[in-house]
Structure 1
Amino acid sequence: AILVVLPEQKMAAAVLSSGGRSSTNQLLATELLLAVLKEKGIIKNIKPNKSFGKPVKVKVPQDVAKKAGFYGNSETHFKIEITKNGELFLPSNREEKYVYTANGSFINEKGTS
């Protein structure tokens, strides 16, 4: 569950979910409030997600590649895969891959996360 409040606008959005993630609830509440703010003319536009541009893949250092394996959080456990080609896959979405870049980050192919 999440509650997002905009006291200056006298607005709030509450999102409850069963088995959902609080980050997803937060995103939904934020998007709902942004849509209403735009509809009321309080904001002109909703900014698109930031993109860092198409990532340039570099070779993954061995010490980073060794960090592939099983991880967990308060909700679940999962396996992170890092291929020899420097691509990282999350089990929740095998179709989305992340590539290792020169700044030491894994970035999705769109450059948005």
Structure 2
Amino acid sequence: MIRAFAIYATAALAEIAGCFSVWAVLRLSAPSWWLLPGFASLVAFAYLLTLIEADAAGRAFAAYGGIYIAASLVWLRAVEGFHPDRWDILGAALSLAGAAIIIFGPRPA
């Protein structure tokens, strides 16, 4: 369980960083070379999700969604300097609850 959370958290950081590199180039006038580490980060994100023990890729991706939403709000605060509001927090909590249902829901053997 701790291993899966660490993989999901690292994958979220990799995905957010990769997407932010494109955002920075197109919206913040960052130099175009920022795309190179950004694309490498996106490849790392995709690889990391293959390390999740799941019976189906879609289930691993769906559970990851909740972690991604929460990590995006951490990024919002830590990197972009914006404070998440109560609606951000509520949305993240609901998405994490959904991820928990996907991860811990009973499945037929």
- Give the structure-1-normalised TM-score: 0.23
Q: Relative to total residues, which structure has the larger helix share, 1 or 2?
A: 2
Q: Relative to total residues, which structure has the larger strand share, 1 or 2?
A: 1
Of structures 1 and 2, the one with the larger relative CO (CA 8 A, separation 6+) is 2
Between structure 1 and structure 2, the one with the greater Rg is 1
